[in-house]
Amino acid sequence: MTQLDSIFSHVDQNSADYVRRLGEAVAIKSVSGDAHHRPEVVKMANYIISWMDKLGVSHTSHDPGFQELDGSQVKLPPIILGTYGTDPAKKTVLVYGHYDVQPALKSDGWTSDPFTLVEDEQGRLFGRGSTDDKAPILSWLWVIEAHQKLGVDLPVNIKMCFEGMEESGSEGLDELIVQEAKGYFKGTDYVCISDNYWLGKTRPCLTYGLRGIAYYKLTIAGPAKDLHSGVFGGTVHEPMTDLFAIMSKLVAPDGKILVPGIYDQVRPLTDKERGTYNGIDFALPDYEGAVGGKVVIQDNEHEVLMSRWRYPSLSLHGIEGAFYSAGAKTVIPAKVTGKFSIRLVPDMDPAEVHRLVSTFIASEHAKLNSKTVCTVEPLHGARAWLADPEGPSYAAASKAVQRVFGVKPDLTREGGSIPVTLTFQENLGVSVLLLPMGAADDGAHSINEKIDKKNYIEGIKLLATYLHEVASA
Protein backbone atom coordinates (compact mmCIF):
# COMPACT_ATOMS: atom_id res chain seq x y z
CA MET A 1 0.00 0.00 0.00
CA THR A 2 1.43 3.40 -0.94
CA GLN A 3 1.40 6.30 1.47
CA LEU A 4 -1.44 7.89 -0.47
CA ASP A 5 -3.45 4.67 -0.45
CA SER A 6 -3.25 4.59 3.33
CA ILE A 7 -4.22 8.28 3.49
CA PHE A 8 -7.22 7.51 1.27
CA SER A 9 -8.46 4.68 3.48
CA HIS A 10 -7.91 6.78 6.60
CA VAL A 11 -10.00 9.56 5.03
CA ASP A 12 -12.77 7.09 4.14
CA GLN A 13 -12.76 5.59 7.62
CA ASN A 14 -13.04 9.02 9.24
CA SER A 15 -15.66 10.50 6.93
CA ALA A 16 -18.31 10.63 9.66
CA ASP A 17 -15.97 12.73 11.82
CA TYR A 18 -15.27 15.13 8.95
CA VAL A 19 -19.01 15.59 8.41
CA ARG A 20 -19.62 16.14 12.13
CA ARG A 21 -16.87 18.76 12.28
CA LEU A 22 -18.24 20.50 9.19
CA GLY A 23 -21.53 20.61 11.09
CA GLU A 24 -19.76 22.35 14.00
CA ALA A 25 -18.32 24.93 11.63
CA VAL A 26 -21.59 25.53 9.76
CA ALA A 27 -23.34 26.12 13.11
CA ILE A 28 -21.14 29.20 13.60
CA LYS A 29 -22.94 32.05 11.83
CA SER A 30 -19.84 33.75 10.49
CA VAL A 31 -21.66 36.23 8.24
CA SER A 32 -19.16 38.99 7.52
CA GLY A 33 -21.57 41.46 5.93
CA ASP A 34 -23.66 42.02 9.04
CA ALA A 35 -22.23 43.83 12.09
CA HIS A 36 -24.45 41.82 14.45
CA HIS A 37 -22.77 38.61 13.39
CA ARG A 38 -19.19 39.84 13.86
CA PRO A 39 -18.71 37.95 17.17
CA GLU A 40 -19.63 34.76 15.31
CA VAL A 41 -17.04 35.49 12.63
CA VAL A 42 -14.46 35.77 15.42
CA LYS A 43 -15.82 32.54 16.94
CA MET A 44 -15.21 30.80 13.61
CA ALA A 45 -11.64 32.13 13.60
CA ASN A 46 -11.19 30.66 17.06
CA TYR A 47 -12.61 27.33 15.90
CA ILE A 48 -9.92 27.16 13.21
CA ILE A 49 -7.24 28.27 15.65
CA SER A 50 -8.24 25.56 18.12
CA TRP A 51 -7.73 22.96 15.37
CA MET A 52 -4.39 24.51 14.47
CA ASP A 53 -3.37 24.18 18.12
CA LYS A 54 -4.46 20.53 18.22
CA LEU A 55 -2.50 19.78 15.05
CA GLY A 56 0.65 21.68 16.01
CA VAL A 57 0.21 24.31 13.31
CA SER A 58 1.94 27.45 14.54
CA HIS A 59 -0.13 30.54 13.89
CA THR A 60 -0.46 34.25 14.32
CA SER A 61 -3.60 36.32 14.12
CA HIS A 62 -3.30 39.59 12.27
CA ASP A 63 -5.67 42.35 13.34
CA PRO A 64 -6.65 44.43 10.29
CA GLY A 65 -8.28 47.16 12.44
CA PHE A 66 -11.76 48.56 11.94
CA GLN A 67 -14.26 49.04 9.13
CA GLU A 68 -17.27 51.30 8.79
CA LEU A 69 -20.37 49.13 8.66
CA ASP A 70 -24.01 50.22 8.97
CA GLY A 71 -22.85 53.64 10.14
CA SER A 72 -20.56 52.49 12.94
CA GLN A 73 -16.97 51.38 13.36
CA VAL A 74 -16.75 47.59 13.61
CA LYS A 75 -13.65 45.58 14.43
CA LEU A 76 -12.50 43.42 11.54
CA PRO A 77 -12.05 39.67 12.12
CA PRO A 78 -8.49 38.33 12.31
CA ILE A 79 -6.50 37.09 9.34
CA ILE A 80 -5.03 33.79 10.48
CA LEU A 81 -1.55 32.93 9.26
CA GLY A 82 -0.55 29.33 9.93
CA THR A 83 2.71 27.49 9.37
CA TYR A 84 3.14 23.73 9.29
CA GLY A 85 6.68 22.66 8.50
CA THR A 86 9.68 24.83 7.72
CA ASP A 87 11.99 22.28 6.12
CA PRO A 88 14.17 24.16 3.57
CA ALA A 89 14.52 20.94 1.56
CA LYS A 90 10.76 20.86 0.91
CA LYS A 91 8.56 22.97 -1.35
CA THR A 92 6.25 25.40 0.40
CA VAL A 93 2.60 25.62 -0.60
CA LEU A 94 0.54 28.57 0.58
CA VAL A 95 -3.14 27.72 0.92
CA TYR A 96 -5.77 30.40 1.21
CA GLY A 97 -9.43 30.21 2.16
CA HIS A 98 -12.13 32.18 3.94
CA TYR A 99 -14.07 31.35 7.06
CA ASP A 100 -16.82 33.95 6.61
CA VAL A 101 -20.05 33.22 4.79
CA GLN A 102 -22.86 34.96 2.95
CA PRO A 103 -26.00 35.88 4.91
CA ALA A 104 -28.77 33.27 5.13
CA LEU A 105 -32.26 33.27 6.62
CA LYS A 106 -34.65 30.32 6.70
CA SER A 107 -37.29 32.74 5.40
CA ASP A 108 -35.25 33.24 2.22
CA GLY A 109 -36.63 29.84 1.19
CA TRP A 110 -34.25 27.32 2.78
CA THR A 111 -35.86 23.96 3.38
CA SER A 112 -33.93 23.55 6.64
CA ASP A 113 -32.18 25.86 9.08
CA PRO A 114 -29.21 27.32 7.13
CA PHE A 115 -26.88 27.01 10.11
CA THR A 116 -27.62 23.38 10.91
CA LEU A 117 -25.80 20.94 8.63
CA VAL A 118 -28.37 18.49 7.28
CA GLU A 119 -27.50 15.39 5.28
CA ASP A 120 -30.16 14.05 2.94
CA GLU A 121 -30.54 10.52 1.57
CA GLN A 122 -28.44 11.43 -1.48
CA GLY A 123 -25.48 12.39 0.70
CA ARG A 124 -25.89 16.12 0.15
CA LEU A 125 -24.72 18.21 3.10
CA PHE A 126 -26.87 21.33 3.30
CA GLY A 127 -25.83 24.41 5.25
CA ARG A 128 -24.54 27.95 4.71
CA GLY A 129 -20.82 27.89 4.07
CA SER A 130 -20.76 24.12 3.52
CA THR A 131 -19.16 24.50 0.09
CA ASP A 132 -18.18 28.20 0.31
CA ASP A 133 -15.72 27.89 1.93
CA LYS A 134 -15.85 25.85 5.15
CA ALA A 135 -15.42 22.31 3.80
CA PRO A 136 -12.40 23.35 1.69
CA ILE A 137 -10.55 25.24 4.44
CA LEU A 138 -11.18 22.51 7.01
CA SER A 139 -9.99 19.92 4.50
CA TRP A 140 -6.47 21.36 4.54
CA LEU A 141 -6.43 20.71 8.29
CA TRP A 142 -7.77 17.17 7.87
CA VAL A 143 -4.96 16.48 5.40
CA ILE A 144 -2.41 17.39 8.07
CA GLU A 145 -4.27 15.35 10.67
CA ALA A 146 -4.39 12.27 8.41
CA HIS A 147 -0.61 12.42 7.90
CA GLN A 148 -0.03 12.75 11.64
CA LYS A 149 -2.39 9.91 12.53
CA LEU A 150 -0.67 7.59 10.05
CA GLY A 151 2.85 8.76 10.83
CA VAL A 152 3.35 9.80 7.20
CA ASP A 153 5.67 12.73 6.64
CA LEU A 154 3.92 15.61 4.90
CA PRO A 155 6.14 16.08 1.86
CA VAL A 156 5.74 19.87 1.67
CA ASN A 157 5.68 22.80 4.07
CA ILE A 158 2.28 24.43 4.30
CA LYS A 159 1.56 28.07 4.95
CA MET A 160 -2.06 29.01 5.54
CA CYS A 161 -3.83 32.30 5.10
CA PHE A 162 -7.46 32.21 6.24
CA GLU A 163 -9.50 35.40 6.23
CA GLY A 164 -12.93 36.29 7.60
CA MET A 165 -13.88 39.09 5.18
CA GLU A 166 -13.77 37.54 1.70
CA GLU A 167 -17.51 37.87 1.20
CA SER A 168 -17.28 41.55 2.10
CA GLY A 169 -14.32 42.87 0.15
CA SER A 170 -11.35 41.19 1.89
CA GLU A 171 -10.70 44.34 3.95
CA GLY A 172 -7.13 44.62 5.17
CA LEU A 173 -5.84 41.54 3.39
CA ASP A 174 -4.10 43.14 0.42
CA GLU A 175 -2.15 45.43 2.74
CA LEU A 176 -1.02 42.47 4.83
CA ILE A 177 0.16 40.53 1.77
CA VAL A 178 2.10 43.49 0.43
CA GLN A 179 3.63 44.08 3.86
CA GLU A 180 4.48 40.41 4.45
CA ALA A 181 5.52 39.45 0.90
CA LYS A 182 9.12 39.35 2.05
CA GLY A 183 8.20 38.35 5.59
CA TYR A 184 5.68 35.63 6.39
CA PHE A 185 4.98 34.80 2.74
CA LYS A 186 8.66 34.58 1.78
CA GLY A 187 9.65 31.18 0.49
CA THR A 188 6.23 30.35 -0.95
CA ASP A 189 6.66 28.21 -4.06
CA TYR A 190 3.01 27.87 -5.06
CA VAL A 191 -0.37 29.21 -3.98
CA CYS A 192 -3.36 26.88 -3.99
CA ILE A 193 -6.91 28.05 -3.33
CA SER A 194 -9.93 25.80 -2.99
CA ASP A 195 -12.88 28.21 -3.17
CA ASN A 196 -14.80 27.71 -6.38
CA TYR A 197 -16.73 25.00 -8.19
CA TRP A 198 -16.55 22.42 -10.91
CA LEU A 199 -18.19 23.19 -14.21
CA GLY A 200 -20.63 20.32 -13.82
CA LYS A 201 -21.38 17.62 -11.28
CA THR A 202 -18.87 14.94 -12.13
CA ARG A 203 -15.65 16.20 -13.70
CA PRO A 204 -13.19 18.12 -11.49
CA CYS A 205 -11.45 21.18 -12.86
CA LEU A 206 -8.41 23.38 -12.40
CA THR A 207 -9.24 27.05 -12.57
CA TYR A 208 -6.93 29.73 -13.92
CA GLY A 209 -9.10 32.82 -14.09
CA LEU A 210 -11.62 34.77 -12.03
CA ARG A 211 -13.68 37.83 -12.73
CA GLY A 212 -13.12 40.87 -10.56
CA ILE A 213 -15.84 42.95 -8.98
CA ALA A 214 -16.94 46.54 -8.45
CA TYR A 215 -19.71 46.73 -5.83
CA TYR A 216 -21.89 49.83 -5.48
CA LYS A 217 -24.37 51.53 -3.17
CA LEU A 218 -26.69 53.94 -4.97
CA THR A 219 -28.62 56.08 -2.49
CA ILE A 220 -31.57 58.34 -3.26
CA ALA A 221 -32.68 60.57 -0.39
CA GLY A 222 -35.86 62.64 -0.37
CA PRO A 223 -38.02 63.68 2.57
CA ALA A 224 -36.60 63.73 6.08
CA LYS A 225 -38.82 60.81 7.12
CA ASP A 226 -41.06 58.11 5.66
CA LEU A 227 -44.37 59.62 4.52
CA HIS A 228 -48.01 58.52 4.20
CA SER A 229 -48.58 57.91 0.49
CA GLY A 230 -52.19 59.05 0.70
CA VAL A 231 -51.32 62.32 2.37
CA PHE A 232 -48.19 63.12 0.38
CA GLY A 233 -48.30 60.90 -2.75
CA GLY A 234 -48.27 62.96 -5.95
CA THR A 235 -46.79 66.00 -4.26
CA VAL A 236 -43.22 64.90 -3.52
CA HIS A 237 -40.36 63.41 -5.53
CA GLU A 238 -40.19 59.82 -4.32
CA PRO A 239 -36.79 58.16 -3.75
CA MET A 240 -38.06 54.70 -4.78
CA THR A 241 -39.39 56.04 -8.09
CA ASP A 242 -36.06 57.67 -8.87
CA LEU A 243 -34.08 54.64 -7.77
CA PHE A 244 -36.14 52.35 -10.01
CA ALA A 245 -35.75 54.75 -12.93
CA ILE A 246 -31.96 54.79 -12.57
CA MET A 247 -31.45 51.11 -11.77
CA SER A 248 -33.53 50.17 -14.82
CA LYS A 249 -31.04 52.08 -16.98
CA LEU A 250 -27.99 50.11 -15.81
CA VAL A 251 -28.61 46.77 -17.50
CA ALA A 252 -30.92 45.42 -20.21
CA PRO A 253 -33.00 42.25 -19.79
CA ASP A 254 -30.64 40.47 -22.19
CA GLY A 255 -27.75 41.11 -19.76
CA LYS A 256 -26.13 43.91 -21.78
CA ILE A 257 -24.64 46.56 -19.53
CA LEU A 258 -25.99 49.97 -20.53
CA VAL A 259 -23.35 52.15 -18.88
CA PRO A 260 -21.64 53.91 -21.82
CA GLY A 261 -17.99 52.97 -22.32
CA ILE A 262 -18.11 49.90 -20.05
CA TYR A 263 -17.15 47.45 -22.80
CA ASP A 264 -14.28 49.61 -24.13
CA GLN A 265 -11.69 48.09 -21.81
CA VAL A 266 -12.70 44.47 -22.35
CA ARG A 267 -9.84 42.46 -23.84
CA PRO A 268 -10.75 41.44 -27.41
CA LEU A 269 -11.42 37.75 -28.09
CA THR A 270 -8.67 36.11 -30.12
CA ASP A 271 -8.89 32.90 -32.16
CA LYS A 272 -6.44 31.33 -29.71
CA GLU A 273 -8.70 32.11 -26.77
CA ARG A 274 -11.79 30.97 -28.69
CA GLY A 275 -10.04 27.63 -29.17
CA THR A 276 -9.75 27.12 -25.41
CA TYR A 277 -13.52 26.69 -25.22
CA ASN A 278 -13.46 23.62 -27.46
CA GLY A 279 -13.69 20.28 -25.72
CA ILE A 280 -14.76 21.63 -22.32
CA ASP A 281 -17.14 19.21 -20.65
CA PHE A 282 -20.14 21.50 -20.23
CA ALA A 283 -23.76 21.01 -21.25
CA LEU A 284 -26.56 23.54 -21.28
CA PRO A 285 -29.17 21.21 -19.70
CA ASP A 286 -26.82 20.59 -16.72
CA TYR A 287 -26.32 24.32 -16.39
CA GLU A 288 -30.09 24.84 -16.41
CA GLY A 289 -30.24 22.23 -13.69
CA ALA A 290 -27.79 24.22 -11.57
CA VAL A 291 -29.74 27.41 -12.32
CA GLY A 292 -32.99 25.68 -11.42
CA GLY A 293 -34.96 26.81 -14.47
CA LYS A 294 -34.91 27.55 -18.18
CA VAL A 295 -33.89 31.17 -17.87
CA VAL A 296 -30.45 31.08 -19.46
CA ILE A 297 -29.97 34.02 -21.87
CA GLN A 298 -27.50 32.44 -24.32
CA ASP A 299 -28.46 29.46 -26.42
CA ASN A 300 -25.15 27.69 -26.79
CA GLU A 301 -22.49 26.44 -24.39
CA HIS A 302 -19.59 28.58 -25.61
CA GLU A 303 -21.58 31.78 -25.30
CA VAL A 304 -22.67 30.84 -21.77
CA LEU A 305 -19.07 30.19 -20.74
CA MET A 306 -17.78 33.36 -22.35
CA SER A 307 -20.53 35.39 -20.69
CA ARG A 308 -19.51 33.95 -17.31
CA TRP A 309 -15.77 34.10 -17.75
CA ARG A 310 -14.62 36.74 -20.20
CA TYR A 311 -17.38 39.37 -20.43
CA PRO A 312 -18.53 41.68 -17.67
CA SER A 313 -22.00 41.44 -16.13
CA LEU A 314 -24.06 43.76 -13.97
CA SER A 315 -26.41 42.37 -11.34
CA LEU A 316 -28.97 44.23 -9.24
CA HIS A 317 -28.88 42.76 -5.73
CA GLY A 318 -31.34 44.55 -3.53
CA ILE A 319 -32.77 47.69 -2.01
CA GLU A 320 -32.17 48.81 1.54
CA GLY A 321 -34.80 51.02 3.16
CA ALA A 322 -37.70 49.81 1.02
CA PHE A 323 -40.86 48.26 2.46
CA TYR A 324 -40.67 44.49 1.96
CA SER A 325 -42.77 42.81 4.64
CA ALA A 326 -46.17 41.16 4.39
CA GLY A 327 -49.19 43.43 4.31
CA ALA A 328 -49.93 46.61 2.42
CA LYS A 329 -48.04 49.40 4.14
CA THR A 330 -48.82 52.64 2.30
CA VAL A 331 -45.49 54.29 2.80
CA ILE A 332 -43.22 56.54 0.78
CA PRO A 333 -39.73 55.48 1.94
CA ALA A 334 -37.64 58.55 2.73
CA LYS A 335 -34.31 57.14 1.62
CA VAL A 336 -33.49 54.00 -0.33
CA THR A 337 -30.21 52.42 -1.28
CA GLY A 338 -29.89 50.16 -4.29
CA LYS A 339 -27.06 47.61 -4.30
CA PHE A 340 -25.54 46.42 -7.55
CA SER A 341 -22.24 45.08 -8.73
CA ILE A 342 -20.34 44.68 -11.96
CA ARG A 343 -18.18 41.60 -12.54
CA LEU A 344 -14.96 42.80 -14.14
CA VAL A 345 -12.85 41.02 -16.73
CA PRO A 346 -9.40 41.58 -18.18
CA ASP A 347 -8.48 44.50 -18.82
CA MET A 348 -11.09 46.46 -16.88
CA ASP A 349 -9.85 48.84 -14.23
CA PRO A 350 -12.11 49.41 -11.18
CA ALA A 351 -11.20 53.12 -11.01
CA GLU A 352 -12.21 53.70 -14.64
CA VAL A 353 -15.37 51.63 -14.12
CA HIS A 354 -16.21 53.82 -11.15
CA ARG A 355 -15.72 56.97 -13.21
CA LEU A 356 -18.05 55.65 -15.93
CA VAL A 357 -20.69 54.43 -13.47
CA SER A 358 -20.80 57.60 -11.38
CA THR A 359 -20.87 59.89 -14.44
CA PHE A 360 -23.69 57.86 -15.98
CA ILE A 361 -25.78 57.76 -12.81
CA ALA A 362 -25.36 61.50 -12.23
CA SER A 363 -26.53 62.21 -15.78
CA GLU A 364 -29.50 59.82 -15.49
CA HIS A 365 -30.51 61.42 -12.19
CA ALA A 366 -30.24 64.88 -13.76
CA LYS A 367 -32.61 63.75 -16.55
CA LEU A 368 -35.29 62.98 -13.96
CA ASN A 369 -35.58 66.66 -12.97
CA SER A 370 -36.06 65.42 -9.44
CA LYS A 371 -35.28 67.25 -6.20
CA THR A 372 -34.04 64.07 -4.54
CA VAL A 373 -30.35 63.70 -3.70
CA CYS A 374 -28.45 60.94 -5.47
CA THR A 375 -25.11 59.53 -4.29
CA VAL A 376 -23.05 56.62 -5.59
CA GLU A 377 -20.53 54.92 -3.33
CA PRO A 378 -18.19 52.10 -4.36
CA LEU A 379 -18.08 49.49 -1.58
CA HIS A 380 -15.29 47.28 -2.79
CA GLY A 381 -13.45 46.55 -5.98
CA ALA A 382 -11.02 44.01 -7.37
CA ARG A 383 -9.52 43.42 -10.80
CA ALA A 384 -9.95 40.15 -12.68
CA TRP A 385 -7.29 37.44 -12.38
CA LEU A 386 -5.95 35.35 -15.24
CA ALA A 387 -3.01 32.94 -15.00
CA ASP A 388 -1.07 30.71 -17.30
CA PRO A 389 -2.31 27.18 -16.54
CA GLU A 390 1.11 25.69 -17.17
CA GLY A 391 3.92 24.77 -14.84
CA PRO A 392 4.54 22.29 -12.01
CA SER A 393 1.64 23.26 -9.76
CA TYR A 394 -1.01 22.83 -12.50
CA ALA A 395 0.70 19.61 -13.64
CA ALA A 396 0.66 18.31 -10.05
CA ALA A 397 -3.02 19.19 -9.66
CA SER A 398 -3.86 17.52 -12.96
CA LYS A 399 -2.10 14.32 -11.86
CA ALA A 400 -3.87 14.49 -8.49
CA VAL A 401 -7.28 14.74 -10.16
CA GLN A 402 -6.47 11.76 -12.37
CA ARG A 403 -5.28 9.76 -9.40
CA VAL A 404 -8.32 10.47 -7.22
CA PHE A 405 -11.08 10.70 -9.83
CA GLY A 406 -9.65 8.75 -12.76
CA VAL A 407 -10.37 11.55 -15.26
CA LYS A 408 -8.50 14.51 -16.70
CA PRO A 409 -9.65 17.81 -15.21
CA ASP A 410 -11.27 20.56 -17.23
CA LEU A 411 -9.33 23.80 -17.41
CA THR A 412 -11.76 26.51 -16.44
CA ARG A 413 -12.18 30.13 -15.56
CA GLU A 414 -14.69 31.24 -12.93
CA GLY A 415 -17.34 33.94 -13.00
CA GLY A 416 -17.03 34.76 -9.30
CA SER A 417 -14.33 36.77 -7.59
CA ILE A 418 -11.64 36.07 -5.00
CA PRO A 419 -9.92 39.44 -4.72
CA VAL A 420 -6.76 38.15 -3.07
CA THR A 421 -5.80 35.85 -5.95
CA LEU A 422 -4.29 38.59 -8.07
CA THR A 423 -2.64 40.13 -5.01
CA PHE A 424 -0.83 36.86 -4.33
CA GLN A 425 0.22 36.47 -7.96
CA GLU A 426 1.53 40.02 -8.27
CA ASN A 427 3.21 40.31 -4.89
CA LEU A 428 4.64 36.83 -4.37
CA GLY A 429 5.48 36.29 -8.04
CA VAL A 430 4.47 32.62 -7.92
CA SER A 431 1.95 30.43 -9.70
CA VAL A 432 -1.56 30.58 -8.26
CA LEU A 433 -3.95 27.68 -8.81
CA LEU A 434 -7.61 27.25 -7.95
CA LEU A 435 -8.40 23.65 -7.08
CA PRO A 436 -12.11 23.41 -6.28
CA MET A 437 -13.87 20.52 -4.54
CA GLY A 438 -17.50 21.68 -4.85
CA ALA A 439 -19.84 20.92 -7.75
CA ALA A 440 -21.66 23.30 -10.10
CA ASP A 441 -25.00 22.74 -8.39
CA ASP A 442 -23.79 23.49 -4.84
CA GLY A 443 -25.72 26.75 -4.74
CA ALA A 444 -23.10 28.93 -3.07
CA HIS A 445 -24.64 32.27 -2.01
CA SER A 446 -28.06 30.80 -2.72
CA ILE A 447 -30.68 29.06 -0.63
CA ASN A 448 -30.01 25.41 0.25
CA GLU A 449 -26.25 25.69 -0.27
CA LYS A 450 -24.71 22.23 -0.05
CA ILE A 451 -21.63 20.18 -0.67
CA ASP A 452 -21.97 16.56 -1.66
CA LYS A 453 -20.37 14.29 0.93
CA LYS A 454 -18.54 12.58 -1.92
CA ASN A 455 -17.04 15.87 -3.07
CA TYR A 456 -15.97 16.70 0.48
CA ILE A 457 -14.37 13.34 1.19
CA GLU A 458 -12.78 12.93 -2.24
CA GLY A 459 -11.78 16.59 -2.01
CA ILE A 460 -9.71 15.87 1.12
CA LYS A 461 -7.95 13.13 -0.84
CA LEU A 462 -7.48 15.50 -3.79
CA LEU A 463 -5.77 18.16 -1.66
CA ALA A 464 -3.53 15.54 -0.03
CA THR A 465 -2.59 14.07 -3.40
CA TYR A 466 -1.89 17.52 -4.85
CA LEU A 467 0.62 18.17 -2.05
CA HIS A 468 2.33 14.84 -2.72
CA GLU A 469 2.45 15.55 -6.45
CA VAL A 470 3.87 19.02 -5.85
CA ALA A 471 6.60 17.47 -3.70
CA SER A 472 7.64 15.11 -6.42
CA ALA A 473 7.33 17.64 -9.28
98 belongs to an annotated ligand binding site = yes
166 among known catalytic residues: yes
Is residue 449 near ligand L7UNP4BN by the rule CB under 6 A?
no
Single out the segment in contact with ligand L7UNP4BN by CB under 6 A; choices: 156-164, 319-327, 347-355, 414-422: 414-422
Footprint of Zn ion on 121-160 (CB under 5 A): 132-133
Hey, CA dihedral for 249, 254, 260, 262, is it positive or negative?
Answer: positive
Residue in 437, 384, 390 with CA at minimum distance from that of residue 415: 384
Nearer to ligand L7UNP4BN, 261 or 416 (CB): 416
CB of 416 to Zn ion, least distance (A): 7
Is residue 442 near Zn ion by the rule CB under 5 A?
no
363 belongs to an annotated ligand binding site = no
Q: Which residue is nearest to ligand L7UNP4BN (CB)?
A: 416
Nearer to ligand L7UNP4BN, 391 or 416 (CB): 416
Nearer to Zn ion, 209 or 222 (CB): 209
100, 133, 174, 442: the catalytic one is 100
Footprint of ligand L7UNP4BN on 158-217 (CB under 6 A): 166-167, 195-196, 213, 215
Task: Give the contact letters, 95-134, x = binds to ligand L7UNP4BN (CB under 6 A), - = no.
Answer: -------------------------------------xx-
Is residue 195 near Zn ion by the rule CB under 5 A?
yes
Single out the segment in contact with ligand L7UNP4BN by CB under 6 A; choices: 52-60, 250-258, 368-376, 416-424: 416-424
241 belongs to an annotated ligand binding site = no
Nearer to ligand L7UNP4BN, 246 or 382 (CB): 382
Interface positions with Zn ion (CB under 5 A) = 132-133, 195
Catalytic site positions: 100, 166
Interface positions with ligand L7UNP4BN (CB under 6 A) = 132-133, 166-167, 195-196, 213, 215, 416-418, 444
